[in-house]
Amino acid sequence: MTPAITAAKRSGIRYHIHNYQHDPASPSYGLEAAEKLALPRGQVFKTLVATLDTRELVVAILPVASHLNMKRLARALGAKKAAMAEAGNVERSSGYVLGGVSPLGQKKSLRTVLDESATGWPTVFVSAGRRGLEIELAPTDLQALTTAVRADIADSDS
């Protein structure tokens, strides 16, 4: 049981846990999850932590095959600039190791932005707090549990 699963369970939402054998040599944890669970890459979301120009840490949830658009993330949160947060700050703030950062059950509650594309799926998959472990839930539940705002923050990989 991870803090993410505990948070989902306590909230009373419907969710499903999916396990797969994580390969430590995999270059992308999110793309690995999509491949091993035989899911469309647009339905599996990664959790990234960024720092705004105000030094505030924030969370971005976006499809695994996309890149985070820092300008749109900053704009969605009323800031001028955003940059990826340092790994140590991410792990201390979230309580998770990189590659297993879940938007649910983080040690410190951070402002969160969920990419608009999540609403196009009946369910989405995000890390359940450990590499090789995903939680499937409705995007509306993900938004509610993280108190996320929705915005177009992803740039397509192609």
Say whether pLDDT at 8 is over 70: yes
Average pLDDT score over residue span 22-46:
93
Q: Band the pLDDT of 96: cuts 50, 70, 90.
A: very high
Residue 65 lies in a domain: yes
* Count of Cβ atoms closer than 10 Å to residue 70 Cβ: 18
Query: Is 158 a domain residue?
Result: no
Rounded Cα distance between 97 and 77, Å, is: 25
pLDDT reported for residue 25: 87
Q: What percent of the chain has pLDDT over 90?
A: 92
pLDDT at 157: 64
On the question of pLDDT at 158 being above 90, the answer is: no
Residue 8 falls within a domain, yes or no? yes
Whether 12 shows a pLDDT value over 80: the answer reads yes
Predicted confidence at residue 75, as pLDDT, reads 97
Domains contained in the chain, number: 1
**Is residue 10 in a domain?**
yes
User: CA distances (Å), 76 to each of 10, 13, 72, 80, in order?
Assistant: 29, 27, 6, 10
pLDDT for residue 11 = 97
Whether residue 76 is contained in a domain is answered as yes
pLDDT band for position 24 (cuts 50, 70, 90): confident
Confirm whether 145 is domain-assigned: yes
Q: Is residue 144 part of a domain?
A: yes
Confidence (pLDDT) at 156: 80
pTM to 2 decimal places:
0.95
CATH number for the domain including 129? 3.90.960.10
Among the listed residues 116, 136, 123, 124, the one whose alpha carbon sits nearest the alpha carbon of residue 4: 136
**H-type helices in 20-108, by residue range?**
29-36, 70-76, 87-94
**For residue 98, what is the DSSP state?**
T
Residue 10 lies in domain: 3-21+28-153
In 3D, which of 60, 106, 112, 62 has the Cα closest to residue 83?
60
